[in-house]
Amino acid sequence: MAQAKKALTRQTRSQNTKQTQTYKNYIGGEWVPSRSGDWIENRNPADTRDVIGRFPASSEADVDAAVAAAAAAFDAWRLTPAPRRAEILFRAGEILMRDKDKYTRDMTREMGKVLKEAGGDVQEAIDCTYYAAGEGRRLHGFTTPAEMPDKFAMCVRQPVGLCGLITPWNFPMAIPSWKLMPALVCGNTVVIKPAEDTPLSTHNLIKACEEAGVPPGVVNLVTGYGETVGARISSHPSLRLISFTGSTETGRTVAYACAERNAICSLEMGGKNAIIIMDDADVDNAVEGAVWGAFGTSGQRCTASSRLIVHKKVYKKFSSKLIERAKQLRVGNGADSAVDVGPVINRDAVEKIMRYMDIGENEDGATLACGGKQLTKGDYVHGYFIEPTVFTDVTPDMRIAQEEIFGPVTSVIPTKSLDEAIEIANGVRYGLSAAIYTQDVNRAFHAMNETYTGIFYINSATIGAEVHLPFGGTKGTGNGHREAGTQVLDIFSEWKSIYVDYSGKLQRAQIDNKKAIG
Ligand code: ADP
């Protein structure tokens, strides 16, 4: 969805913007307008009459200025002891905590997810910031015996250098924090570009960093379109590492740009995640999990439970309870605490999801059991609302069971056995998350072992990752990296192996070994 924007137009300086709050880029410790003079309007997807603000539609020159600032700040930051860097991050965590309510409301307004979930997103950023701060006193390397006498061997982490971070709109504070905080604690300097639909939440995150005392140039924020700002970041010769989360198509473009100059590239992309529901499952609990996994964040999570593979013995019972629950969900403005499912992000998203409704019903031949419609009347008239949708009688090869829809749509697929269910779960191009509902420990462990995904849940939906465990997927989901956990440090630091020879003579590895045997 590289072209997707809820911004209606590209504005110029000449347009009347009296009432609209204007935001700026953050480069070298200064809040500065774009050199382009162009803007992107940030509008509320629940009510597009509500203009949140205008953000710079930056140019390549802005990216270049941000990279120059990151380069100028790098030496001082990498030489700042990691525990000192961490103290600054810890302060940023406290600021995020202090302003959580405001950031939560801002996020619901610009992204649409319901307040509870927006609060969860901000909380994830807080957790991630504290967690990264804790790493300042670890960042462990290791020592290991050398193969010769009077020789010492060890390994330390060093910063990678200048990093470019490109983030999506669905977790507009959590995902930037997943990348930014570990990058900083490792001693890197950063240029970050949020998605064009949700720049405010990243703006808030960077404000917290500024207030916490992150030195000028260490973090630089450049807002704008993917094809200009994102493309320049991806291909900038001074950016040694690009960390990207978004669509598979854009991720591939970013990877090509990195390959050109051998830059490190960490990609986190799509998912088509399955919950397996066995005949011994607690069906009510499984239904609650499926509702949460499929319709939370209006299904706009890379870990969304978009496939429900259900044993034939409980298929009818599960499906009818699921449909009943889906029909009960209240769709509306996420700022209303009675609402369960907020809008989707923009018009392009509506069009894409509605295309899949059509494909599911008319091309695939699945049964549209509930939902399937865009809501356009009354309170819905100015927003992007879609009914929670359940397709039943879905077969594994159908497009709705193979392709990422990224909306409030889930497919129920009948199965006759656990092994068949696992085969179906694995039979997609992605490998992010999977889950099983069963009371049988043998089945649970078998499925856990045989499901080729980066994340697995037992008796819980496919969503709900915690920041101290690695996050990422196999196959088309990524390129082998993991964010979060201590594993993220392997993205944002490089290993240096160090040998100390205190024998006072030449000792040649592999040649002068005195073998213990033989
Ligand atoms: P989605 O909108 O489906 O989440 P995208 O991959 O389009 O996924 O967007 C994720 C991020 O990638 C956004 O910040 C977007 O602006 C950026 N982006 C889009 N196109 C490009 C591109 N050609 N090069 C680099 N970044 C891009």
pTM: predicted TM-score of the whole model, two decimal places:
0.96
Report how far ligand 1's centroid is from the alpha carbon of 4 (Å): 9
Residue 336 CB-density burial (10 A; 0-12 exposed, 13-18 middle, 19+ buried): middle
Q: Which amino acid residue places its CA nearest to atom 21 of ligand 1?
A: 226
Report how far ligand 1's centroid is from the alpha carbon of 2 (Å): 5
Q: Which amino acid residue places its CA nearest to atom 18 of ligand 1?
A: 226
**Per-residue model confidence as pLDDT tens digits over 360-394:** 999 999 999 999 999 999 999 999 999 999 999 99
Q: Which amino acid residue places its CA nearest to atom 24 of ligand 1?
A: 231
Mean pLDDT across 129-133 = 98
Ligand 1 contact, 227 CB (< 6 A): yes
Q: Which amino acid residue places its CA nearest to atom 25 of ligand 1?
A: 230
User: Which residues share a beta bridge with 164?
Assistant: 191, 242
Q: What's the sign of the alpha-carbon dihedral 317, 321, 322, 323?
A: positive
Quote the CA–CA distance of 278 and 447 in Å, as a whole number. 11
Q: Which amino acid residue places its CA nearest to atom 26 of ligand 1?
A: 230
Residues marked active site are found at 268, 302
Count of other CB atoms within 10 angstroms of residue 320:
13
Atom of ligand 1 nearest to the CA of 250: 6
Listing DSSP states for 7-49 in one string gives: ---EE-TTS--TTS-B--EEETTEEE--TT--EEEEEETTEEE
Say yes or no to pLDDT of 43 above 50. yes
Residue to probe by mutation, ligand 1, list 110, 111, 166, 228, most atoms within 8 Å of CB: 166
List strand residue ranges (DSSP E) for 195-322, in order. Answer: 219-221, 241-245, 264-268, 273-277, 305-311
Residue 447 CB-density burial (10 A; 0-12 exposed, 13-18 middle, 19+ buried): buried
Contact 415, 311 (CB under 8 A): yes
Report how far ligand 1's centroid is from the alpha carbon of 249 (Å): 9
Ligand 1 contact, 193 CB (< 6 A): yes
Q: Which amino acid residue places its CA nearest to atom 19 of ligand 1?
A: 226
**Per-residue model confidence as pLDDT tens digits over 209-250:** 999 999 999 999 999 999 999 999 999 999 999 999 999 999
Band (pLDDT 50/70/90 cuts) for residue 4 is: very low
Note the pLDDT of residue 82: 98
Say yes or no to pLDDT of 5 above 90. no
Q: How far is CA 191 from CA 68, 112, 279, 481, in A?
A: 10, 26, 50, 20
Return the exposure string of 113-138: e unless at least 16 CB atoms fall within 10 Å of the residue's CB, then b: bbbebbbbbbbbbbbbbbbbbbbbee
Ligand 1 contact, 253 CB (< 6 A): yes
Say yes or no to pLDDT of 6 above 50. no
**Nearest 5°: CA angle at 355, between 121 and 324?**
65
Task: Please tell me what DSSP assigns to residue 227.
Answer: I
Residue to probe by mutation, ligand 1, list 42, 196, 229, 250, most atoms within 8 Å of CB: 250
Ligand 1 contact, 226 CB (< 6 A): yes
490 SS3 class: helix
Report how far ligand 1's centroid is from the alpha carbon of 311 (Å): 38
Give the side-chain half-sphere CA count within 13 A for 464.
Answer: 15
Percent of the chain at pLDDT above 90? 95
**Per-residue model confidence as pLDDT tens digits over 151-204:** 999 999 999 999 999 999 999 999 999 999 999 999 999 999 999 999 999 999
Order of all β-strands in the sheet with 30-32: 30-32, 25-27, 219-221, 189-193, 162-166, 241-245, 264-268
Say yes or no to pLDDT of 513 above 80. no
Contact 233, 63 (CB under 8 A): yes
Mean pLDDT across 70-96 = 98
Angle, helix 199-212 to helix 82-98, in steps of 10 degrees: 120
Residue 29 CB-density burial (10 A; 0-12 exposed, 13-18 middle, 19+ buried): middle
Ligand 1 contact, 202 CB (< 6 A): no
Atom of ligand 1 nearest to the CA of 224: 16
Report how far ligand 1's centroid is from the alpha carbon of 195 (Å): 7
Report how far ligand 1's centroid is from the alpha carbon of 293 (Å): 24
Compute the residue count for the chain. Answer: 518
Quote the CA–CA distance of 132 and 503 in Å, as a whole number. 39
Q: How far is CA 460 from CA 80, 116, 175, 274, 456, in A?
A: 42, 19, 22, 11, 9
Note the pLDDT of residue 515: 74
Ligand 1 contact, 168 CB (< 6 A): yes
Contact 369, 379 (CB under 8 A): no
Ligand 1 contact, 4 CB (< 6 A): yes
Note the pLDDT of residue 18: 56
Report how far ligand 1's centroid is from the alpha carbon of 25 (Å): 18
Return the exposure string of 80-93: e unless at least 16 CB atoms fall within 10 Å of the residue's CB, then b: bebeebbbbbbbbb
Report how far ligand 1's centroid is from the alpha carbon of 443 (Å): 39
Q: Which of 290, 248, 254, 292 is nearest to 268 (CA)?
A: 248
Ligand 1 contact, 175 CB (< 6 A): no
Quote the CA–CA distance of 327 and 261 in Å, as a whole number. 51
The token duo for 144 is 């290991």
**295 or 18: whose pLDDT is higher?**
295
Band (pLDDT 50/70/90 cuts) for residue 496 is: very high
Encoded amino acid at 173, one letter: M
Ligand 1 contact, 118 CB (< 6 A): no
Atom of ligand 1 nearest to the CA of 4: 2
Q: What is the mean pLDDT of the chain?
A: 95
Say yes or no to pLDDT of 495 above 90. yes
Note the pLDDT of residue 518: 63
Band (pLDDT 50/70/90 cuts) for residue 399 is: very high
Quote the CA–CA distance of 119 and 476 in Å, as a whole number. 30
Mean pLDDT across 470-476 = 96
The token duo for 106 is 């801002």
User: What is the distance, to the nearest Å, from the Cα of residue 391 to the centroid of all Cα atoms in its chain?
Assistant: 26
Task: Please tell me what DSSP assigns to residue 483.
Answer: B
Q: What's the sign of the alpha-carbon dihedral 256, 257, 261, 262?
A: negative
Strands 389-392 and 433-437: unpaired
Largest CA distance in the chain: 87
Element (H, E) at 437: strand 433-437
Give the side-chain half-sphere CA count within 13 A for 228.
Answer: 18
